[in-house]
Amino acid sequence: MHTKMLDFAFFEGQVIPFADANISIGTHCVQYGTGAFAGIRGYLDDSGETVNIFRLADHARRLLNSARLLRMELPYTPSDVERIITGLVEQNGHLGDIYIRPFIYKPAVQLTPRLRGIGDELAVYMMPMGDYLSLDRGQKALVSSWFRIPDNAIPSRGKLSGAYVNSAFAKDEAEEKGADEAIMLNTMGKIAEGSGCNLFMVRNGVLTTPPFSSDILEGITRRSVLAMAADAGIPSEVREIDRTELYLADEAFFCGTGVQIAWIESIDGRTVGNGARGPITQQVQTRFFDTVRGRDTMYGDWLTKVRVPEVAAVS
C-alpha cells in the first residue's frame, strides 16, 4: 500500500516539500532502528470547519519520552513540537481526516550501534487517512507465536522504530493465518498487546486491560478509554490477563490511534461473547467518535482544533 503524503514536511528545522525531505542510506537510524516516533490523528470536525487533533500534547510528551529512552537530545520542548505540528497541518491545507507522523532519529552516518553523542533530528510528515481496520465488522485476532519484546531488551513503553520489527513478525503471521491482527504475549506468557494497538476485554461487566509492566506501549487511546469508562460508571481494572481468560471474555476490542476502537469477533478461532459488538464496546466507541468529531464536548480539552485554509495541491 502506497499512501500519498501531503505536500509539506518539517525536516532539519524547516518546512520543505515532502519529496525533498530525504536522508542517506547510511543513516544510523536506517541501519539500526535508532528512531522514536508518534502516530497522531486529526479528524474533520462535524462542523466541517476544523481538523481536530486528538491529544496532541500527550503525543508530544510521549514522543519526547520515547526519545529520552534513546538518549536523544533535542532543542524542542513538547510545546515546540505541538506548534510545529499545528503549523504543518495548516500549511498542508487538507480539510479532512489525517494521520500525522513525527519522527526523531539519529541522522549520523556512523557504524557503531550506540546511542550517545551522535546527534538527533526531528522530522514530521502527514497523510490523509481513513479507517486502518474496518470498524463495521469484527476483527479476527490470533495469539501470536512471537513474544512481545521485554522491557530489558527493547522497551515497549515507548514507540521505538527498531522495535517494530517485532510487530511486523506478529502482523505477518496473523495475516498469513487468515486473521486481521495479532495478540502478543509477553515473555511471562501474559497478554501484552496487538502489533500496533492496545487490548481490552470485558469479563463479568469489568473492562480490563494489561498494565504497563506487561510490556505494552503507554497507549494514549488506552488511557482515554479508561478515563471515559470511569466517567461513565463502567467498572475497570488494570491487571495481568491470561490467554485463556480471553477465550471466556464477553467482549474484547483493540484500541489505538490507527485502529481507533475496533471490536474483536474471534480470538484463535473462538467466538468472543456472542460474536457481535458488545454493549460496553459500543458505548466506548460512540463516546470516542463523538468526541473526536466534536459532537460531544465533555472531552473537548483532548482536541486541538486547527482551522485549515483549504489550499490547492502542489503536485
**Contact status: 217 vs ligand PMP (CB under 6 A):** yes
Which lies closer to ligand PMP via its Cβ, residue 155 or residue 258?
258
Closest CA to 27 of 18, 19, 35, 17: 35
Copy the grid coordinates of residue 62.
Answer: 510521549
Which amino acid, residue 103? F
Which lies closer to ligand PMP via its Cβ, residue 161 or residue 167?
167
Contacting residue, 257, 260, 281, 291, with ligand PMP by CB under 6 A = 257
Continuous H helices in 25-163: 28-32, 56-69, 78-92
Of 159, 177, 190, 305, catalytic: 159
**Contact status: 220 vs ligand PMP (CB under 6 A):** yes
Query: For residue 197, how many other CB atoms are within 10 A of its CB?
Result: 28
Residue 44 CA to residue 295 CA, distance in Å, equals 11
Do β-strands 198-203 and 139-143 pair in parallel, antiparallel, or remain unpaired?
unpaired
**Contact status: 197 vs ligand PMP (CB under 6 A):** yes
CB of 259 to ligand PMP, least distance (A): 8
Residue 33 CA to residue 161 CA, distance in Å, equals 5
* 8 Å CB contact between 105 and 34: yes
- Concerning whether 177 is annotated as a catalytic residue, the answer is no
| DSSP per residue, 121-144 | EEEEEEEE---SS-SSSPEEEEE-
Binding to ligand PMP (CB under 6 A): which residues in 39-68? 39
**Contact status: 186 vs ligand PMP (CB under 6 A):** no
Which run of H or of E encompasses 217? none
CB of 197 to ligand PMP, least distance (A): 5
Size of the site for ligand PMP (CB under 6 A): 15
Contacting residue, 198, 209, 285, 291, with ligand PMP by CB under 6 A = 198
Contacting residue, 42, 102, 138, 196, with ligand PMP by CB under 6 A = 196
Which of the stretches 120-128, 138-146, 195-203, 295-303 binds ligand PMP when contact is defined by CB under 6 A? 195-203
Catalytic residue positions, numbered: 159
Q: Which residues bind ligand PMP (CB under 6 A)?
A: 39, 159, 167, 193, 196-198, 217, 219-222, 256-258
